[in-house]
Amino acid sequence: MEFTAATIAGFLKGEIEGDPEIKVNTIAKIEEGEAGALSFLANPKYEHYIYETKSSIVLVNKSFIPSAKVGATLIRVENAYDAFASLLRLVDQARPRKKGIHPTAIIEDSAKVGSDVFIGPYVYIGENCNIGSGCSVYPHVYIGDNTKLGNNCTLNPGVTIYHDCIIGEGCIIHAGSVIGSDGFGFAPQSDNEFMKIPQLGNVVLEDHVEIGANVTIDRATMGSTFIRKGVKLDNLIQIGHNVEVGENTVMAAQTGISGSTKIGKNCMFGGQVGLAGHLKIANNTKIGAQGGILGDVKEENTAIIGSPAIEVKQFLRSSVIFRKLPEMKSKIDSIEKEIESLKKK
């Protein structure tokens, strides 16, 4: 597809500086720009690239003031990053979409499949399933009995959804993720063995949830594990049984949430965050990478980091002391020697 600067500016309601008829047919990072490419500049750290980029068009913030001549045509918008994301969505939606049901797919007679769907090779759809209209189910996906899939969902290759789960509208689940596997429930016995506790609940993903690759979300022991509307989970995340993740919460890769923890709305977790079980995390909580949470976070709009996690400012002050520990240890050793010397005298 090919667009002129004028067309792009019209779509974004931006202002053009340069040639309105210049055309682009691809996108590129500003440091890797080439003729015919569209790039963007949002982070000031990358400003030096705009003076040497070969990209034909660059989106910039309206507040951007160049310190040298810029060869590319500029389109000024309120927020260059958001504008670029809007263009990417437009391009993505313009891609041709596969449709139809592949002959190798197995769909049980009692399952219902909506209109305008794509069911790829070697997909299995179990008994009494309901697949919404506009869904794309890519090869080797398994959908267990009694599962409901809302309209316009995308299940990428190798996704497994166990029985009785509910997936809302517009959800995206990436390759290799498992929804509804058994929660980690075992009762210790007197002979040091463990008895498996049946996991009879399910998993509910509300509308517009996106699940990264190789994520596991355990079914509830009883009731449901809830992933609320608009949640975004990165790759390689583990969500335990009976967890509730609040609306529009985002989690980076390798985060682990133990069973029965309740997470509020609009929270942000960095990579490798770990939460103990049965906790309550307030709305708008921000947890830095590798944060270890052992107790409830009761106040909203809290930012914490560290393991065990503490308030960010306190953590930074503690870090200064930590870096000085070797020097402090040497001073303490020296003082101890002086004390021993004084005692001998």
Tens-place pLDDT, residues 260-272:
999 999 999 999 9
Tokens of 333: 């050793």
| CA 306/CA 312 separation, integer angstroms | 8
| CA 243/CA 220 separation, integer angstroms | 8
DSSP tag of 20:
T
Residues with catalytic annotation? 241
Q: State whether residue 221 is helix, strand or coil.
A: coil
| CA 146/CA 124 separation, integer angstroms | 13
Burial label for 130, CB within 10 Å (0-12, 13-18, 19+), is middle
Pick the CATH number of 3-94 from 3.40.50.720, 3.40.1390.10, 3.40.190.10, 2.40.10.10: 3.40.1390.10
Q: Report, in angstroms and rounded to the nearest whole number, the Rg of the chain calculated over CA atoms.
A: 27
Q: Where are the domains of the chain?
A: 3-94, 100-314, 315-344
The pLDDT tens digits of the residues spanning 159-210 come to 999 999 999 999 999 999 999 999 999 999 988 899 999 999 999 999 999 9
pTM of the predicted protein model: 0.88
Strands 310-311 and 303-305, bridge-based pairing:
antiparallel
Q: Rounded to a whole number, what is the largest CA-CA distance in the chain?
A: 96
Top pLDDT among 94 and 233 is at: 233
The pLDDT tens digits of the residues spanning 24-56 come to 999 999 999 999 999 999 999 999 999 999 999
Q: Indicate the fold that domain 100-314 takes in CATH.
A: UDP N-Acetylglucosamine Acyltransferase; domain 1 (2.160.10)
- Residues contacting 44, CB < 8 A, separation 6+: none
| CA 33/CA 53 separation, integer angstroms | 5
